[in-house]
Amino acid sequence: MPRRFFKHYLPRRETLARSRLLRPFAALLSDPGLWALSRRSTAKGFGVGVFAAWLPIPFQTLVVLGLTAWMRVNLPVAVLASFISNPLTMGPMMLAGYLLGSLMLRMPPRENLEFGLEMIWQEIERIGAPLLLGCLTLGLLTALLSATIINVAWRVSLMRFYRSRRARRRMMGIRFRRPRQLRRAGLKRRLPKP
């Protein structure tokens, strides 16, 4: 199941609380909503991280910390997803954002662009608006797409798990009825007496 996968690879809250670098954020990190490993929290956390990865700014992890605290989604998944933007991928991502933004603003794109932080700061007046618009657009689209993919993959994984469990139980001779089947059959679910 996906929960086991994420629990295996994500750092634990206690481990991060002991870190000297994260002590100033101890109050923020103590929120259990930031560590929930549910389908919705994990999918939204991945979407937040992917959105922040598209932002044309340095220190995107700080943006991820703020967004996850505000939205109360899974923090470790969001931070790991924000590392999609790294020194190898940042140039092509910013170029794609600039080209989409200039297309959306109907501005002719500049030729011979070599994207890097130095060039962005030197040419910010000419390429700032298309770059920001394109990166925000691509960030929103990829965040929605990735959150939807994570959500659907998690549901498919759960359905496969429950089907295989039901098949194992049938092989062992254990009958299992779901509550909906009980209602259709006119039976009431019997609760154990306290």
pTM score over 0.85: no
Mean pLDDT to the nearest integer, 91-97: 89
pLDDT tens for each residue of 15-51:
766 777 666 666 677 777 777 888 888 999 999 999 9
Biggest alpha carbon–alpha carbon distance for the chain = 76
Greater confidence, 113 or 94? 94
Q: For position 115, what pLDDT does the model report?
A: 62
Dig out the tokens for 175 from the structure.
Answer: 């009958």
Note the pLDDT tens digit of each residue in 116-151. Answer: 667 667 777 788 889 899 999 999 999 999 999 999
Taking CA atoms, 147 is separated from 10, 11, 71, 84, 180, in Å, by 18, 21, 14, 14, 29
Q: Dump the DSSP string for 86-148.
A: -TTTHHHHHHHHHHHHHHHTT-PPPSS---SHHHHHHTHHHHHHHHHHHHHHHHHHHHHHHHH
Length of the chain: 194
